[in-house]
Structure 1
Amino acid sequence: MSTHTGTNWGVFTAAEPELAKTVEERFAAYTHHVLATLRRDGSPRTTGLEVRFLDGELWFGMMPDSLKALDLRRDPRFALQANPGEGTGMGGGDVRISGRAVEIPGEDTRTRARYAEEVEPPEPFHLFRTELTEVVRTFVEDEKYLVVHVWKPGEPVRVLRRT
């Protein structure tokens, strides 16, 4: 798969299981996270979102005709920031996922039903699976280093350390 189209969560997990586990734990720590999409004029829009990791995919479910769903239909690029929680503790660090959202059409009743079994969304709903283009984790190590892990499809994790 070429890097410009991204890859799914399962491929990322197989390639980098430790980083994937940490990222999933950060998202599991809180229910609501921040999704950035692009408005019609190209400016960013940030909104709250619940996400699900299910069957090797990262899923976004959205209310019908929500602005974020309409944004993604028009331009599928997104950035997703895990809720940092209260204070400065951020166990596991700060994590962000970038990529493209691919809408699952209403006719794909099997996929939508499988998602609905786990999530019980209101009907109707928009369902998007994600294609990852980047996963980033930033954390403080030994109280003196800022460490950044950057993963992109087809590449090993790059580790940057700053004092």
Structure 2
Amino acid sequence: MTAWKDVEEAVPEFAARVRKIFDAHKHKTIATLRADGAPRISGIEAEFVDGELRFGSMTHARKGADLHRDPRFALHSPSVDPPEGNPAGWAGDAKIAGRARAVGPVDGEADGEQFHADIDEVVFTGLTADATKLVIEVWTPRGGLRRVERA
């Protein structure tokens, strides 16, 4: 099991960049798997709390049923266009994939269930400082951090 705190300990600068992108906007997108194996994309709110990446599902929502049946998920940060005329000003985007673990009811007044993420992969996609190449950084618990640049 790899929690968000493990990513922060292993690659603190990378984790900080990824978290900043996720924290920049409230709404994210999550992919889960339907009973027939087809992907389902849903809007979701997610947050980093006490070293965990956590998110919820309203009672009887399909995404929660998906996660109980098959806990695999992929979470995508909000996508924001680069500033006009300044592609190097793009913050990039980020993805986290793993397995959701049900941990009980959501905090607060909402009726639903909370999940914590067991993280398999974290990806940052951005541009080089001169905005001439795409940069893809991938961290996995076993493989560590890898960086690829594409023209």
- TM-score of the superposed pair, with normalisation by structure 1: 0.84
Match of 2:40, as an amino acid?
R
Match of 2:30, as an amino acid?
L
Q: Which residues of 2 match residues 12-161 of structure 1 at below 5 A? A: 12-85=7-80, 87-89=81-83, 91-105=90-104, 116=107, 120-122=108-110, 124-141=111-128, 142-161=130-149
Contact 2:82–2:91 under 8 Å retained in 1:
no
* CA distance in structure 2 between the aligned counterparts of 1:105 and 1:84, rounded to whole angstroms: 30
Aligned length: 145
Kindly provide the CA deviation profile for residues 5-64 of structure 1, in whole angstroms up to 9, marking residues without a partner as x. x41100011001111111111111111000000000000000000001001100011211
Q: Partner residue of 1:3?
A: none
* CA distance in structure 1 between the aligned counterparts of 2:109 and 2:44, rounded to whole angstroms: 13
Match of 2:142, as an amino acid?
G
Contact 2:102–2:115 under 8 Å retained in 1:
yes
Runs of 4+ in structure 1 over 2 Å off: 87-92
* CA distance in structure 2 between the aligned counterparts of 1:152 and 1:80, rounded to whole angstroms: 15
Kindly provide the CA deviation profile for residues 126-148 of structure 1, in whole angstroms up to 9, marking residues without a partner as x. 11000000000111112211111
**Unmatched runs of 5 consecutive residues or more in structure 1:** 1-5, 107-111
* CA distance in structure 2 between the aligned counterparts of 1:133 and 1:121, rounded to whole angstroms: 31
Match of 2:103, as an amino acid?
I
Structure of higher RCO (CA pairs closer than 8 Å, 6+ residues apart): 1
* CA distance in structure 2 between the aligned counterparts of 1:50 and 1:151, rounded to whole angstroms: 23
- TM-score of the superposed pair, with normalisation by structure 2: 0.90
Contact 1:61–1:121 under 8 Å retained in 2:
no
Contact 1:94–1:139 under 8 Å retained in 2:
yes
Higher relative strand content: 2
Match of 1:83, as an amino acid?
P
